């Protein structure tokens, strides 16, 4: 019993650091794709420490209550899913709500300031959330319907017969579509566009508040990658220490293909283009997938 608490505390300290390392690895991979040397892989970790040492300077008319609520929601919406997916404990529906709550945290953080950049960022973030969260929810619902279970420990590709595996391709593809928007990388990071509206909702925060925001973003990325690994790419016989090694390797591969390659292959699209894309392609796949899975259940599969 004591062991499990020690494990949780250890993971609570180590996993955020590993998430920052993954962010650094992603930056290094981007740099290598562009033919640059790139920062050391600990760069995001150094940025985090740097932000903690800075003094905080906020606008005078900041709504502090809203800022703190937003930051807490944002942190919780990334930290708790991260622990849940790595420990394989908890409920998929709860995980879905928590990850949507993280997006809500970003919106609240942006609404705490009166800066027009922040407001524009919040508005775009909200439109994006409406566009992609529905596909995310579809992906999770289809997974639950195919596997027939809701907990993270049993809900897995290896827990169902071989004939059903192709059905899981639908949520897997949906996840690949949603991942860049959920993490917020270049083709669809319209709400936080760094060069355009100066990081949108985070434009006025600095110091340790920004450190929390950056940490949450990294943790959200790792949690999402591990969720994809856990649901669709984990064989049954991988346990113990091999589970951790396998997870971290596959997470790295997923980060490369869903984040780095996408980010270097495309430039930022406009909000109407992004919303139109998410409201057509992934949503259609989701609805068709849901209908197929529902009919299959009717036939007793």
**Closest by CA position to 29, among listed 253, 285, 283:** 253
> 3 burial class (0-12, 13-18, 19+ CB within 10 angstroms)?
exposed
Separation CA 251–CA 15 (nearest Å): 13
CB-based contact 81:227 (threshold 8 Å): yes
Q: Measured between alpha carbons, how far apart are the two ends of the chain, in Å?
A: 40
CB of 6 to another protein, least distance (A): 24
CB-based contact 79:219 (threshold 8 Å): yes
CB of 44 to another protein, least distance (A): 9
CB of 128 to another protein, least distance (A): 19
Rank residues 24 and 289 by Cβ distance to another protein and give the closer one: 24
**Closest by CA position to 92, among listed 185, 184, 265, 227:** 227
**Closest by CA position to 139, among listed 105, 99, 87, 104:** 99
Separation CA 224–CA 172 (nearest Å): 12
CB of 9 to another protein, least distance (A): 21
CB of 35 to another protein, least distance (A): 5
Separation CA 172–CA 175 (nearest Å): 5
Residues in the chain: 301
Rank residues 35 and 161 by Cβ distance to another protein and give the closer one: 35
Rank residues 187 and 206 by Cβ distance to another protein and give the closer one: 206
> 163 burial class (0-12, 13-18, 19+ CB within 10 angstroms)?
exposed
CB of 202 to another protein, least distance (A): 8
Rank residues 211 and 285 by Cβ distance to another protein and give the closer one: 211
CB of 39 to another protein, least distance (A): 5
Q: Residue 139 phi/psi, 5° resolution?
A: -60, -45
CB of 71 to another protein, least distance (A): 15
**Closest by CA position to 96, among listed 223, 277, 201:** 223
Rank residues 91 and 196 by Cβ distance to another protein and give the closer one: 196
Q: Which residues bind another protein (CB under 8 A)?
A: 27, 31, 34-40, 42-43, 45-47, 49-50, 52-57, 117, 194-199, 202-207, 210
Residues 6+ apart with CB under 8 A from 162: none
**Closest by CA position to 181, among listed 287, 252, 271:** 271
Rank residues 93 and 198 by Cβ distance to another protein and give the closer one: 198
Rank residues 53 and 239 by Cβ distance to another protein and give the closer one: 53
Rank residues 175 and 202 by Cβ distance to another protein and give the closer one: 202
């Amino acid at each position: 019993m004591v062991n499990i608490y020690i494990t949780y505390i250890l993971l609570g300290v180590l996993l955020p650091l590993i998430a920052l390392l993954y962010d650094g690895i992603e930056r290094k991979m981007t740099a290598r794709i562009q033919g640059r040397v790139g920062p050391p892989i600990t760069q995001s970790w150094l940025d985090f420490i740097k932000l903690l040492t800075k003094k905080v300077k906020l606008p005078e008319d900041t709504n502090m209550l809203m800022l703190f609520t937003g930051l807490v929601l944002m942190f919780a919406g990334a930290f708790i899913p991260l622990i849940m997916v790595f420990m394989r404990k908890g409920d998929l529906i709860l995980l879905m709500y928590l990850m949507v709550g993280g997006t809500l945290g970003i919106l609240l953080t942006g609404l705490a300031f009166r800066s027009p950049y922040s407001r524009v960022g919040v508005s775009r973030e909200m439109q994006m959330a409406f566009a992609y969260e529905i596909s995310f929810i579809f992906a999770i619902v289809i997974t639950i319907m195919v596997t027939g279970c809701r907990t993270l420990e049993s809900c897995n590709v290896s827990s169902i017969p071989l004939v059903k595996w192709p059905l899981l391709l639908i949520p897997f593809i949906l996840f690949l579509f949603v991942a860049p928007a959920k993490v917020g990388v270049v083709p669809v990071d319209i709400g936080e566009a760094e060069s355009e509206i100066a990081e949108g909702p985070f434009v006025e925060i600095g110091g340790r508040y920004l450190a929390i925001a950056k940490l949450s973003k990294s943790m959200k990325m790792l949690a999402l990658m591990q969720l994809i690994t856990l649901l669709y790419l984990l064989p049954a016989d991988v346990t113990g220490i091999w589970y951790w090694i396998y997870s971290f390797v596959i997470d790295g591969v997923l980060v490369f293909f869903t984040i780095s390659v996408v980010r270097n292959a495309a430039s930022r699209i406009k909000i109407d283009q992004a919303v139109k894309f998410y409201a057509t392609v992934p949503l259609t796949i989701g609805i068709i997938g849901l209908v197929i899975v529902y009919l299959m259940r009717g036939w007793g599969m």
